[in-house]
A = this chain, B = another copy of it.
Amino acid sequence: MTQPKLTNDNIVSLLLQGDIRAGARLMRWLEDDRPEAVELLKQIFPRTGRAQLIGITGNPGSGKSTLTDKLIAHYRKLGKKVGVVCIDPSSPFTGGAILGDRIRMGSHATDSGVFIRSLATRGAHGGLSRATYDVVNVLDAMGYEVVLIETVGVGQDEIDIVRLAHTNLVVVIPGLGDDIQAIKAGILEIADIFVINKADRPGVERTITDLRYLQSLEPEPTPWTAPILPTVATHGDGIEALTDAILTHSQFLETNDERQKAAQRRQEHVLWALLHDRFHKVLTQQMLRGERLEHYLTDLVNRSVDPHTIVAEIFAALNLPTGKS
């Protein structure tokens, strides 16, 4: 089949038909921060909100890439197109490991029903959330019915990112022991399903007990209690129970008015990420560049002006109300 040539005029219509070149181009433009990209995002926005978003969060070594791989295979078998967004913990240094992950997903490399996109950590203050949100929307508009968002959920930024998802899997391995502290409240709150991967190792029962204990600390009863599911992803063990649980959670969202509430939370989070991202850009382009920035920093280093006064000055210059404290 001959494909129509991709132009600036037909990029949106081709993208909405699932054209991979069109999607890849928009993602590249987003990465390069080209102004046309936002225009295109606006145009595709009405066609978003259809994909089922599944977050997969776990420490390095928890086997979450293998799990992701099995989930891709599951949804492909159901005939669904699957998008994957991997949040790289950043940088050249992890290149090897990340590349390893991607190679493990190689079984889907030639499947046009699967689109895998890696994102590096970009800046602070909402930058990464914004980038993830944009890419998820592109995949959604392209017709990917399931979008898996894989993160090393360790920081506030990454916890924020998985708030984008409808259903969040938190992947741990047996024998949390000392690392129980690593299961942070933020992570507990976002976990819709706990997966104990590598469950052929000793300590599964203890880990289940620990997680149940943590759940019991919840101040109020919640409408959904995250099931705790053992898997051995490399052998495919427990994957069916996991995909069943994802389906059950999805149905729970539908029938309990939770989907609407979750959608609002998601949109609020995204709105804040965009606002901070834009605020950062405005300041970098205007108030906080070149000599002016140097001047402020010199004052701060010399302790001749305190930062709260400078912030008040900048807000006054922008005619922004200073708010209380």
Q: Which residues of A contact B (CB under 8 A)?
A: 33-35, 37-38, 41-42, 45-46, 48-49, 59-61, 89-94, 97-98, 121, 124-126, 128, 152, 154-160, 177-186, 188, 214, 217, 219, 260, 263-264, 267-268, 270-272, 274-276, 278-283, 285-286, 288, 293, 296-298, 300-301, 303-304, 306-311, 314-315, 318-325
Contacts and interface: CB of A to CB of B under 8 A. Distances in A.
Contacts of A121: 156, 186
Give 5 nearest A-B pairs by CB, closest first: A155-B155, A91-B185, A61-B178, A45-B306, A154-B154
Given A38-B325, A42-B309, A281-B324, 19 more contacts: A41-B306, A45-B303, A46-B306, A61-B177, A89-B185, A90-B184, A92-B217, A93-B183, A93-B184, A152-B181, A260-B301, A270-B307, A271-B288, A274-B308, A275-B279, A275-B314, A278-B322, A279-B279, A286-B321
Interface residue SS majority, chain A: helix
Contacts of A34: 325
Nearest to A301: B263
A124 B160 contact: yes
Copies of this chain, complex-wide, total: 2
Given A93-B217, A214-B93, A311-B275, A264 B301 contact: yes
Contact of A181 (B60, B177, B309): B60
A37 B308 CA distance: 11
Interface centre among A37, A280, A323 (most CB of B within 10 A): A323
A60 B214 CA distance: 17
Interface centre among A93, A152, A267 (most CB of B within 10 A): A93
30 contacts: A34-B325, A35-B325, A45-B303, A46-B304, A60-B180, A60-B181, A61-B177, A89-B182, A89-B184, A91-B185, A92-B219, A93-B188, A124-B126, A155-B159, A260-B301, A264-B297, A264-B298, A267-B297, A268-B293, A271-B297, A271-B310, A276-B279, A279-B279, A281-B323, A281-B324, A281-B325, A282-B321, A285-B321, A285-B323, A319-B319
A263 to B, nearest CB: 5
A275 B293 CA distance: 13
A37 B319 CA distance: 24
Contacts of A155: 154-159
Contacts of A306: 41-42, 45-46
A37 B177 CA distance: 40
